[in-house]
């Protein structure tokens, strides 16, 4: 472990001691594993505060990469409707919408705040389901699997005023036809590739290389717009 990595973990440990004393950082150099375990105190309405067991798993020994959060004791039954995977993992966002601020000095505290908000939604879900309120999930949510990626792609495209969804093509996804960032955008709009679809296509390519569901969503949209 490098000295810089060690300092970052020490900073996370110090932040937990100061702001979240019921959570502890565990490091295992031999197994190249780092995680945060313990109870997260979560407001549950009025003056009620509940303690929920969580486990935050770093990606090996990388304190700058956004970690994954789990319900290790299955306090919340896994279900697509409540966005909890079968292994207890919290499905808090699509890969392409995940926060990009974990590498900052307050990254861990920001992440814990989002985890706390997610758990509050779990409590609300249980209340709404018990009262037969539909939909039971109280917040906005993407669809499950490929459907969620399709929704996200369509939303991004409609945000760009120059984009005609019918012109969404293989060239646009792969960036073909744009020899430089200043070339006309493949979508047929009036702006350059840099100012139009370049950020979107770069994000598509980066996430699709790691997530087959996004690749499948792109294929579906291409077929629909053919």
pTM of the model: 0.82
- Find out whether 185 and 178 touch, Cβ atoms under 8 Å: yes
Rounded Cα distance between 75 and 72, Å, is 8
Q: Which residues contact 138 (CB under 8 A, 6 or more apart)?
A: 121, 124, 125, 128
Rounded Cα distance between 70 and 55, Å, is 5
Tokens coding 48: 């009620």
pLDDT digits (tens, 9 = 90+) for 49-61: 999 999 999 998 9
Is the pLDDT score of 155 beyond 60?
A: yes
Question: What is the residue whose two structure tokens read 């937990």?
Answer: 16
Per the prediction, the chain carries an average pLDDT of 86
Rounded Cα distance between 156 and 160, Å, is 7
- Across the chain, how many H-helices and E-strands are there? 6, 4
- Find out whether 149 and 213 touch, Cβ atoms under 8 Å: yes
Rounded Cα distance between 226 and 212, Å, is 21
β-bridge partners, 43: 49
User: What CA–CA distances, in Å, run from 15 to 36, 40, 51, 183?
Assistant: 12, 14, 19, 47
CA angle 110–146–63, rounded 5-degree value = 30
* Burial state string for 44-62 with b = 16 or more CB within 10 A and e = fewer than 16: eeeeeeeebebbbbbeebe
pLDDT digits (tens, 9 = 90+) for 13-29: 999 999 999 999 999 88
Dihedral pair phi/psi, residue 54, rounded to 5°: -135, 160
Share of the chain above pLDDT 90, in %: 54
């Amino acid at each position: 472990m490098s000295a810089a990595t060690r300092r970052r973990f020490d900073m996370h440990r110090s932040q937990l001691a100061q702001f979240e004393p019921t959570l502890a950082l565990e490091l295992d150099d031999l197994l190249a594993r780092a995680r945060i375990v313990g109870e997260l105190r979560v407001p549950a309405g009025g003056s009620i505060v509940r303690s929920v067991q969580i486990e935050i798993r770093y990606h090996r020994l990388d304190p700058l990469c956004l970690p994954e959060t789990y319900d290790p004791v299955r306090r919340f039954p896994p279900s697509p409707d409540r966005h909890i995977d079968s292994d207890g993992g919290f499905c808090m966002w699509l890969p392409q919408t995940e926060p990009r601020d974990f590498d900052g000095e307050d990254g861990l505290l920001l992440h814990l705040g989002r985890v706390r908000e997610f758990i509050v939604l779990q409590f609300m879900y249980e209340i709404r389901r018990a009262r037969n309120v539909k939909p039971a999930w109280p917040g906005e949510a993407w669809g499950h699997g490929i459907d969620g990626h399709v929704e996200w792609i369509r939303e991004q495209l409609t945000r760009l005023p120059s984009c005609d969804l019918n012109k969404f093509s293989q060239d646009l996804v792969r960036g073909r036809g744009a020899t430089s960032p200043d070339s006309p955008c493949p979508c047929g709009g009036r702006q350059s590739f840099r100012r139009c679809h370049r950020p979107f296509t770069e994000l598509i390519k980066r996430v699709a290389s790691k997530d087959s569901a996004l690749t499948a969503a792109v294929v579906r949209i291409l077929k629909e717009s053919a």
